[in-house]
Amino acid sequence: MIGRSGNPALNEKTFEREERYSGQERMSINGTVNKTFITLTILLAGAFSAWSMYFNGQDVSAYAIGGALTGFVLALIISFKPAAAPYLVPVYALAEGLFLGAISASYEGLYYGITLQAALLTLGIFVALLLAYKTRIIRATEKFKLGVFAATAGIAIVYLLSFVLGLFGVTVPYLHSNSLIGIGISVIIVIVAALNLVLDFDFIEHGAQQGAPKYMEWYGAFGLMVTLVWLYVEILRLLSKLRSRN
């Protein structure tokens, strides 16, 4: 098991290996919130840039592919080298912003208003789960963490399988369809993505309590952004399935 969080970017082993640093400023929840705000601002700036280019008639497919690949590589580096987070997370946010802006504009071209709906739903879910976590309505117990992690890992395996089979022209049944089963699968994935936020909140709180180094605030912001991007994309896909049935 990766640790306390289902998010592979956030796991307890990360904080354990950072405890050896002494004489440094320590991670705080407020500091992580500030870094998350900065990171999301950069992401939105990149997204609006790609969005504007798309609706000005430019081909943004290169930004979608380039942003996704750059983000993937940077995510791997950040995950293995948390000390590099203050320098790489802003670049990662920009790359993800370009990717999200490009695909969001593509969806918007097909279904007017869908991106605003997806963004508002993502924000609403984030706020609702944050309040539920702060008031302890939802508790990140060990069984809860294990269940969410197992579900997240299962989804990752299915997506990987879908990608590999897609290279040979084979599609995984229902995963991308707008049938009732396909919509039900998307709903489940959205729920699992949302529940990862609870694990992220718990993990960041745990890291602050352990006194992780200050740069881990950027790492915590990175982990939250990974989950929020995943949640937004899954909501976008779900809404597109629903809209395509009309």
Residue 16 lies in a domain: no
Number of compact structural domains in the chain = 1
Residue 19 lies in a domain: no
> Which DSSP string corresponds to 31-42?
HHHHHHHHHHHH
Residue 163 lies in a domain: yes
Domain ranges, residue 219: 26-244
Residue 13 lies in a domain: no
pLDDT at 172: 78
Q: Counting Cβ atoms within 10 Å, is residue 51 exposed (0-12), middle (13-18) or buried (19+)?
A: buried
Exposure string of 124-149, with b = 16+ CB inside 10 Å and e = fewer, is ebbeebeeebeeeebebeeebbeebb
Query: What is the SS3 assignment for 110-128?
Result: HCCCHHHHHHHHHHHHHHH
Averages of pLDDT over each 10 residues, the chain, 246 residues: 44 52 74 94 95 92 93 92 94 96 94 94 95 90 92 92 83 83 93 94 88 90 94 95 85
Residue 14 lies in a domain: no
Residue 69 lies in a domain: yes
Give the residue from 158, 157, 195, 149 showing the smallest Cα distance to 176. Answer: 158
Please give the torsion angle defined by the CA atoms of residues 182, 201, 13 and 72, in that order, rounded to the nearest 10 degrees.
50
Contact 202, 5 (CB under 8 A): yes
Residue 104 lies in a domain: yes
Residue 177 lies in a domain: yes
- Identify any residues that bridge with 213 across adjacent strands, giving them in sequence order: 26
